[in-house]
Amino acid sequence: MSADLVAIEGGWFRMGSASFYPEESPVVEREVAGFRIGRTPVTNAQFAEFVDASGYVTTAERTLDPADFPDASGLDTSPGSLVFTPPAGPVDLRDWRQWWRWVPGACWRSPFGPGSDVEGKGNHPVVQVSADDADAYCAWSNTRLPTEEEWEFAARGGLDGATFTWGEEPQHVGSLKANTWQGNFPWRNTGALGWRGTSPVGTFPANGFGLVDMTGNVWEWTSTAWTDAHRASTCECSPQVSVDATARSRVAKGGSHLCAPEYCLRYRPAARTRQSRDSSTTHMGFRVACDA
């Protein structure tokens, strides 16, 4: 199942924003060469084809090495991953542990743990994939992850400097342009066009370059290492796990179905978050790219 790649003509653009979160600034001019990028995030069906052909075992399906977590006493080393679990009502928004939990057995095939599956969701973006998993998929498919600059240039769809991928107007009920949180985070979500969690790729309108889901649905890995060009931060709707100073972290872009405007307004091209490359959650995915 080959990727549907869209050719993007390179050029200059203004990267970042000085109007929202500190890690997005300063606004800088960047030039990107022409490249191609996936029209959609990689789907469950596409990832399944890769696993079936290669026998690849994802990060979440491997037993943890306690040496990687020296400060975590009594760590459960069984395979698993982090799962978004909405509480019954309002909680302290300063504590991400109120809505994230470690679930043994959670992986891309069973995103929410044993008993869950992706049956009937072949056209949804794959989740519970680490940056290492994404890199492995790219190596198999003769592609690569986009850089942060390429990703943001593509997401803007020709609207240089715009707040959103579609322009300046905010998301509105009745005219939703992306799969983002609708309601009171993290306990009440009425669903974006009825979707709670991931939605089929292309459910919401494409941007100016014909790319879908560059906003919301799932955060997307890039190949760019997190640097001190912007202040390190994590998305508030994501688990803020401390990363060892020697561990490699990547920039993720695009926001997800968990982004709520009153709490995490990161469904914008300039928004970025730091994730350790071995992280996998129920709202992390990726799309592929390649040279022109």
10-residue stretch averages of pLDDT, the chain, 292 residues long: 87 95 93 98 98 98 76 70 96 93 97 98 98 98 98 98 94 85 95 96 98 98 82 52 57 97 92 94 98 94
Q: What does the pLDDT read at residue 199?
A: 98
Which residues, including other chains, have CB under 8 Å from residue 23's CB and lie 6 or more apart?
230, 231, 232, 233, 272, 273, 274
Q: What is the pTM of this model?
A: 0.92
Q: What does the pLDDT read at residue 241?
A: 45
Spatial contact of 7 and 36, defined as CB atoms under 8 Å apart = yes
Query: How wide is the angle at C-alpha 110 spanned by C-alphas 105 and 115, nearest 5°?
Result: 80
Upstream peptide bond of 86 is cis (omega within 30 degrees of 0): no
Kindly state the tokens that stand for 271: 């928004």
